[in-house]
Amino acid sequence: MKYKLKKLLFLFPILLILASCGGLNNLTNTDEQIQETQELTTASAKPFNYQNYNSILKDYVNSQGLVDYEKLKEHRQQLDEFNYTIGTVSPTTYNYWTDSGKIAFLINAYNSLTLESIIDNYPTKSIRNIIGVWKIRKFDVARKKITLDHIEHQILRKEFNQPGIHVALVCAAISCPPLRQEAYTSRQLEEQLDDQAKKFLGNSQGLRIDDQNKTIYLSSIFKWFGQDFEKNYGQTENIEGLNKTETAIVNYARKYVNSNAQKFLEEGGYKVKYSGYDWSLNVQ
């Protein structure tokens, strides 16, 4: 009995030490795991780097939003590298971004991959001459192979309530909104979309008012995607002579035109027509 008691007294401190060591190891492992998770979260939350894309836009796009495709094709390495990075973004990183960060990323991806499609087939007179450019050709975006149409219709239009994307997506045509000389960013997205709307609607491609014939001519973009504006801009009573969709489009446009145009649009009593779309390449 005494022997057993002595044995237990001898083993007890050892067991305490082992238990303590095991506990320290577990705590250390937990701390390391937490630190790794925090580091991953911090890295994922960082905004996407658009430095290369900004350089491309400044070097090959002029103040009217037209592109020097010939020179871009000759010096395409930077564009190819940027588009490669679009594909390497992990879904975890993408999901950590805010909605504005995701929207900016997807707009930039659409526009940059459109540039790639053009120079892959340049010279061409129109993007519509490129077979399958929107619905068949797939690109790597955040580790998924998707089409340009998928970016626009299945992600941007379905997942986000931001009709302003329609003045930012540039399909390389003269009647498209102008391509900016800078990338869209999470922090500046609203300001950039407002500026795009002012530029587009301040040009006859976006909006033209025929005062004498009581008619306004809107870009066909608003004909194709007018319903996307209803949720944000169609909550008021319809403007005289206009339906719900037309009212929503006009309510959106009124925010970005000059005072004379605003007054005309507010009064109502005019017809809405949609301009023909010029699919000629937006080339310098």
Determine the pLDDT at residue 15.
43
One-character DSSP codes across the chain:
-HHHHHHHHHHHHHHHHHHHHHHHHHHHHHHHHHHHHHHHHHHHHSPP--HHHHHHHHHHB-TTS-B-HHHHHHT-HHHHHHHHHHHH--HHHHHHS-HHHHHHHHHHHHHHHHHHHHHHS-S-SBGGGSTTTTTT--EEETTEEE-HHIIIIIIIHHH---GGGGGT---SBTTSPPPPSS---TTTHHHHHHHHHHHHHTSTTTEEEETTTTEEEE-HHHHHHGGGGHHHH-SSPPPTT--HHHHHHHHHHHTTS-HHHHHHHHH---EEEEPPP--BB-B-
| Contact between residue 194 and residue 210 where contact means Cβ atoms under 8 Å apart | no
Determine the pLDDT at residue 235.
82
Question: Which residue type, as a one-letter code, is found at position 20?
Answer: S
**Along the chain (284 residues), what's the average pLDDT of each consecutive run of 10 residues?**
44 43 39 46 73 98 98 98 98 97 98 98 98 98 98 98 98 98 98 98 96 97 98 92 97 97 96 98 98
Sign, CA dihedral 65-69-71-77, equals positive
Distance of alpha carbon 71 from alpha carbon 280, whole angstroms: 19
Determine the pLDDT at residue 47.
84
Determine the pLDDT at residue 10.
45
Determine the pLDDT at residue 110.
99
Determine the pLDDT at residue 42.
52
Determine the pLDDT at residue 151.
98
Determine the pLDDT at residue 45.
62
Determine the pLDDT at residue 236.
83
Degrees, nearest 5: CA angle 183-54-101: 30
Pairing of strands 215-218, 271-274: parallel
Backbone dihedral region of 273: left (phi > 0), alpha (psi from -120 to 50 degrees) or beta? Answer: beta
The residue among 192, 191, 188 whose CA lies nearest residue 179 is 192
Q: What are phi and psi of 143, to 5 degrees?
A: 65, 25
